[in-house]
Amino acid sequence: MIDKMNIKLSSPWFGDLEVEAVSRVLRSQVVSMGMEAKFFEEELHKFFGRREATVTCVHSCTAALQLSLQACNIYHGDEVLVPTLTFVSTFQAVKANGATPVPCDVSVSDGFIDLDDARKRLTSKTKAIIPVLYAGCGSKIYDVYQFADEHNLVVIEDAAHCFGDENISKRDGVICFSFDPIKNISCGDGGCILTTNSDVTERAKDIRLLGVVGDTDRRFQGKRSWDFDVVEQGWRLHMNNIAAAIGRAQLLRFGKIKERRQRNAKMYLSALSDIPEIRLLPINADTAVPHIFPVVINGGRKKELMTYLAENGIETGTQYKPNHLLSYFNLGYDLPNAMELCNGLLSIPIHPLLSLEDVQYVINNIRKFFKK
Ligand SMILES: *Cc1c(COP(=O)(O)O)cnc(C)c1O
């Protein structure tokens, strides 16, 4: 029996390849955005496998969302529908453009935005909707596109949980990914916009570099911009060469990362399915690459279980506290389904550094708690 366990909720998986990549960039003395970023964008494009789409690498998924909104002309005075169950960055990205994130309820079954509730929040100012593919559950995404068509809204997908999902690059849209410290691949910090909308790409390429027109293309040729124009607000949200080089290494190792995450998810899906106090979310570990693994604890013993697991060296968490409860985003109404779901949500460790024995240890402890 292992006595001292220390199982973290999340972790990246870096190895020699990433270390060598960082050294390569440092030795080149070119750490700002340049060829590494160019190659990373090309390699991601190939990875996504969608010829007519383009990839724009930026500083984070938050930046990807912010820039996409700006590139779709979402500004001050506009309203954007956002599920309340998401990381705070989805809301802040909307605020960054001066627009108002309007929290919407989610479905208790999978945490996905509840379109019946979203419909109630429509006003003449509503311009966009950001569906979040919570825990990779995106089977209802096409309903969002239909809803958006009916109400003339821009759709920007928050796919921070979904890098590597087989289905995601098949659709036309504006899709934002995260490469932050703990996501499916990590650049330290990073993110990208995948889109079939070439106008969004053209705008985002300039906006990420302080709005300097054409700066991306010159940097990718190893040149600098001396005589240039700026036509709109820009931000310093590009991806630097160090981050890009780490991302390139992660992409090379993604097959292994994916295998581990899917294996861990499948172990949980089969080993926890017969515990009456646990409800599993409809996570498809064959097509998705699960970034988080939230389960719903019924019967009010979630806190007790968290403490029990912590005592046994297993870190867990709640993803997420609903954003409509936060002072900055509170618009003064209740979202009951999100509250009900969130009360039971417990994320358990799924990251790729976990061994088979580690996952089994988590399972054993959960079963022991419920005396199964
Ligand atoms: C991680 C995350 C983000 C933000 O990604 P960053 O790259 O850290 O900015 C946005 N939305 C969701 C759902 C996330 O989990």
Looking at the fold, whether 328 and 295 belong to one and the same domain comes out as: yes
Looking at residue 145, the DSSP 8-state letter turns out to be H
Is residue 207 a contact partner of residue 71, using CB atoms and an 8 Å limit? yes
Looking at the fold, whether 226 and 285 belong to one and the same domain comes out as: no
Question: Using CA positions, which residue lies closest to atom 1 of ligand 1?
Answer: 160
Looking at the fold, whether 210 and 346 belong to one and the same domain comes out as: no
Question: pLDDT tens digits, residue range 95-131?
Answer: 999 999 999 999 999 999 999 999 999 999 999 999 9
CA distances from 328 to 91, 130, 291, 348 (A): 10, 18, 27, 29
Evaluate if residue 190 carries a pLDDT over 60. yes
Q: Is the CB of 87 under 6 A from ligand 1?
A: yes
Looking at the fold, whether 266 and 202 belong to one and the same domain comes out as: no
What band does 296 get if pLDDT is binned at 50, 70 and 90?
Answer: very high
Q: Is the CB of 288 under 6 A from ligand 1?
A: no
Looking at the fold, whether 247 and 341 belong to one and the same domain comes out as: no
Looking at the fold, whether 222 and 272 belong to one and the same domain comes out as: no
In a domain, 5, yes or no: no
Q: For residue 229, report the distance from its CA to the centre of ligand 1, in Å.
A: 32
What's the burial of 95, exposed, middle or buried (CB within 10 Å: 0-12/13-18/19+)?
Answer: middle
In a domain, 10, yes or no: no
CA distances from 226 to 33, 223, 229 (A): 16, 9, 10
**Which of 252, 287, 303 marks a domain boundary?**
252
Q: For residue 82, report the distance from its CA to the centre of ligand 1, in Å.
A: 14
Handedness of CA 308, 312, 315, 319 (dihedral sign): negative
Name beta bridge partners: 128: 80, 154
Q: Which two tokens stand for residue 41?
A: 């964008």
pLDDT computed for residue 5 by the predictor = 86
Looking at the fold, whether 157 and 288 belong to one and the same domain comes out as: no
* CATH number for the domain harbouring residue 26: 3.40.640.10
Pocket test for ligand 1, best of 58, 180, 289 (most atoms within 8 A of CB): 180
Pocket test for ligand 1, best of 84, 86, 89, 132 (most atoms within 8 A of CB): 89
Pocket test for ligand 1, best of 67, 134, 158 (most atoms within 8 A of CB): 158
Phi and psi at 13, nearest 5°, equal -135, 95
Closest atom of ligand 1 to 189 CA is 7
Question: pLDDT tens digits, residue range 71-102?
Answer: 999 999 999 999 999 999 999 999 999 999 99
Across residues 36-41, what is the average pLDDT?
98
In a domain, 247, yes or no: yes
Q: Is the CB of 132 under 6 A from ligand 1?
A: yes
Across residues 283-308, what is the average pLDDT?
97
**Which of 214, 233, 252 marks a domain boundary?**
252
Question: pLDDT tens digits, residue range 140-176?
Answer: 999 999 999 999 999 999 999 999 999 998 999 999 9
Across residues 291-303, what is the average pLDDT?
97
In a domain, 2, yes or no: no
Average pLDDT over the chain, rounded to an integer? 97
Looking at the fold, whether 152 and 274 belong to one and the same domain comes out as: no
pLDDT computed for residue 79 by the predictor = 98
Pocket test for ligand 1, best of 137, 175, 183 (most atoms within 8 A of CB): 183
Q: Which domain holds residue 187?
A: 16-252
Q: Is the CB of 90 under 6 A from ligand 1?
A: yes
**Which of 199, 226, 252 marks a domain boundary?**
252
Closest atom of ligand 1 to 291 CA is 15
Q: Is the CB of 163 under 6 A from ligand 1?
A: no
